[in-house]
Structure 1
Amino acid sequence: MSQLLQVRHLVKRFHSGGGWLGGAKKTVHAVNDVSFDVGRGQSLGLVGESGCGKSTVARMLLRLIEADEGSIVFDGQDMRSAGAAQLRTLRQRVQIIFQDPYASLNPRRTIRQTLAEPLFVHGVGDASAIEAKITQTIQEVGLPVSALEKYPHEFSGGQRQRIGIARALVLDPQLIVADEPVSALDVSVQAQILQLLDRLKRERGLSFVFVSHDLGVIRHFCDTVSVMYLGRIIETGPTRQVLDAPRHPYSRVLRDSSPVPDPKARIALAKIQGEIPSPTNLPPGCAFHPRCAYAQADCKAGVPALSAQAGLGAAACFHPLGPVRG
């Protein structure tokens, strides 16, 4: 299977303090040396606690936030070195679905205007072709054609997210970056939106980078998963393998913290201590070692590489969990 997206050694730092505001200068290490691949027609899940850097990665993929270091190669083209004209063409093939559809939709524009704008910007067809395209797309996401004449405030949250999906689809992209697309929705509506995305993935052959903190959503939708902690990917592999038998202690904690919809299920929670460190003052060595029940001296001295084991995924851990302990 060929790779559609290849991300290598992505780094992003934010600086605060100093200047006319005063105070000490601080550097937030938001993303540290992140690498992953997404195959054609495949979906990759990025999971982790709030503040781990997964949404920053998602925005860097479209250059909504510029990376400090690393490369983003989409279908053989380096997005970071692309000029304005080339980037416009690339963005036609890479689209994003935002977490809050109401905040991402212009309240002064009808849905017709919202869906037509990207087609006008990219010069896709004449007026009749654009009208046919937006009519087809709004129906494809399960809304009636009459919805095109309405404004965002006239829809429910789930309907607004369908409109956000339609806006991402209208340019016929190959890759969609979905940043927590169902986290603001009720559970029943979440299921409907996930079924819609799953159908679109199959019918259109779409690839996804799916950002979420909900492991149940990731298990349902994603082929592979990468677990992030304080800006780094600490485990990656096939979704069921990582979630059923995590090798990194943090992945185990994250899995055990996820609710299981079975009243008879009993889970022995993994041990964890302390609070998550500040991204402005990362601990030496493995960033998880201050909270890890299995930490040893070497965990404090060096940063473990993301290394794979035969038949298993890759884990950035000096002392990965085995089948019995994990």
Structure 2
Amino acid sequence: MNPLLQVKHLVKRFESGGGLLGGPKQVVRAVNDVSFDVARGQSLGLVGESGCGKSTVARTLLRLVEPDEGAILFDGIALQDANAAQMRKLRQRIQIVFQDPFASLNPRLTIRQALSEPLRVHGLGSAAQIDARIRRILDEVGLPQTALDRYPHEFSGGQRQRVGIARALVLDPELIVADEPVSALDVSVQAQILQLLERLKKERGLSFVFVSHDLGVIRHFCDEVCVMYLGRIVERGATEQVLDAPLHPYSRVLRDSSPVPDPTARITLNRITGEIPSPTNLPSGCTYHPRCARAQANCQANVPELRELSDGRSAACFYPLVEQ
């Protein structure tokens, strides 16, 4: 069976500088040759430091940000070639949950209006059918019916995120792109939202692209994970394998830097030196080589390809931590 989503050699660049203030234009390579697949019912995590390009990847999947190069295939349909009418139809099948539910909800609309608007735009049912549908969705995400006539500012952060999830579900999508959906919430509320998403994933057979910097969240929710560094995927594989025995030196540093919820655990941190290079002036060869203790001469001259090593695991490294 073909994957539900296929991303092939995705590239997104942004220009900075120039304009009224003058100065030379600079190019930021936010996403640089990214490829991955998402199977039906699978959740894929994108992790990395802030600025690594993971949220840009998420937005290009719905063409909220237009890609410069590469292909995005959803159920065999090339999204980058779809016109406005085709994209409107496809967005019934692909939805997004944003990081900040307060910023992503219109403060002038009640919850009833916010949830019914997508259904009216797509012409999905009469007024009575739309009302019945949004009531059912509210039950599904654990909100009371009394929420319908209230405004976003009347809810807590966790409740607003449930509204955001309800809005994503109301069109019965097949794929949900979740861009840091729990990072703005308290830890206890994070657990509730993750349990909700896990239940919806099983009950509806949903696929997820889940963006997060929290490896604990990724370990709990995602089947596979892609580790990103400066716009590239440096390691990809089953979540437990990547986090328990990383192959790429950067993946190990990222794993070791993540807090462990066990006060008795002893952690040996692998030190990392230097600063993250500027995305407008990337190093030659492997972009991680200025900070990598294992770097050698060819790391400075050549860009390592993301290659499969074993058991479906891939790493973009000439000297992986576990030689295959």
Give me the TM-score of the superposition, normalised by structure 2.
0.99
Q: In 1, distance between residues paired with 2:135 and 2:19?
A: 51
Q: Per-residue displacement from partner, 1:167-202 (whole Å, max 9, x unpaired)?
A: 000000000000000000000000000000000000
The residue correspondences of 1:43-122 to structure 2 (distance < 5 A) are 43-122=43-122
- 3-state secondary structure, aligned to 1:3: coil
Q: In 1, distance between residues paired with 2:310 and 2:107?
A: 52
2:224 — aligned with what? 224
- 3-state secondary structure, aligned to 1:209: strand
Q: In 1, distance between residues paired with 2:5 and 2:202?
A: 18
Q: In 2, distance between residues paired with 1:311 and 1:220?
A: 21
- 3-state secondary structure, aligned to 2:310: coil
Residue correspondences, number: 323
1:303 — aligned with what? 303
1:196 — aligned with what? 196
CA RMSD of the aligned region, Å? Answer: 0.8
Q: In 2, distance between residues paired with 1:306 and 1:142?
A: 42
Task: State yes or no: 1:208 paired with 2:189.
Answer: no
Q: In 2, distance between residues paired with 1:174 and 1:186?
A: 28
- 3-state secondary structure, aligned to 1:320: coil
- 3-state secondary structure, aligned to 1:274: coil
Q: In 2, distance between residues paired with 1:58 and 1:316?
A: 21
The residue correspondences of 1:272-283 to structure 2 (distance < 5 A) are 272-283=272-283
1:12 — aligned with what? 12
Distance 1:312-1:127 versus aligned 2 partners, 3 A rule: closer
2:246 — aligned with what? 246
Q: In 2, distance between residues paired with 1:318 and 1:296?
A: 9
Q: Per-residue displacement from partner, 1:122-153 (whole Å, max 9, x unpaired)?
A: 11011111001100001110000110010000
What is the CA distance between 1:24 and its match in structure 2? 1.8
Distance 1:127-1:312 versus aligned 2 partners, 3 A rule: closer
- 3-state secondary structure, aligned to 1:20: helix
Q: Which runs of 5+ in 1 are unaligned?
A: none
Report the residue type matching 1:73 in the other structure.
Answer: L
Q: In 2, distance between residues paired with 1:271 and 1:188?
A: 31
Q: Per-residue displacement from partner, 1:223-269 (whole Å, max 9, x unpaired)?
A: 00000000000000000000000000000000000000011111211
Q: In 2, distance between residues paired with 1:123 and 1:278?
A: 47
What is the CA distance between 1:270 and its match in structure 2? 1.2
1:263 — aligned with what? 263
Q: In 2, distance between residues paired with 1:154 and 1:2?
A: 44
What is the CA distance between 1:205 and its match in structure 2? 0.2
The residue correspondences of 1:161-180 to structure 2 (distance < 5 A) are 161-180=161-180
Report the residue type matching 1:101 in the other structure.
Answer: P
What is the CA distance between 1:271 and its match in structure 2? 2.4
What is the CA distance between 1:322 and its match in structure 2? 1.6
What is the CA distance between 1:84 and its match in structure 2? 1.2
Q: Identity percentage over the alignment?
A: 75
1:235 — aligned with what? 235
What is the CA distance between 1:312 and its match in structure 2? 5.2
Q: In 2, distance between residues paired with 1:93 and 1:18?
A: 39
Q: In 2, distance between residues paired with 1:299 and 1:214?
A: 28
Q: In 2, distance between residues paired with 1:317 and 1:235?
A: 9
Q: Per-residue displacement from partner, 1:271-310 (whole Å, max 9, x unpaired)?
A: 2100100100000000000000110001001000001112
What is the CA distance between 1:2 and its match in structure 2? 3.4
Report the residue type matching 1:288 in the other structure.
Answer: Y
Poorly superposed stretches of 4+, deviation over 3 Å: none
Report the residue type matching 2:84 in the other structure.
Answer: A
Report the residue type matching 1:99 in the other structure.
Answer: Q
- 3-state secondary structure, aligned to 2:60: helix
Q: In 1, distance between residues paired with 2:140 and 2:199?
A: 10
Report the residue type matching 2:26 in the other structure.
Answer: K
Q: In 1, distance between residues paired with 2:9 and 2:312?
A: 22
What is the CA distance between 1:83 and its match in structure 2? 1.0
What is the CA distance between 1:311 and its match in structure 2? 2.4
- 3-state secondary structure, aligned to 2:295: coil
1:159 — aligned with what? 159
Q: Which runs of 5+ in 2 are unaligned?
A: none
What is the CA distance between 1:17 and its match in structure 2? 1.2
- 3-state secondary structure, aligned to 1:309: strand
- 3-state secondary structure, aligned to 2:264: coil
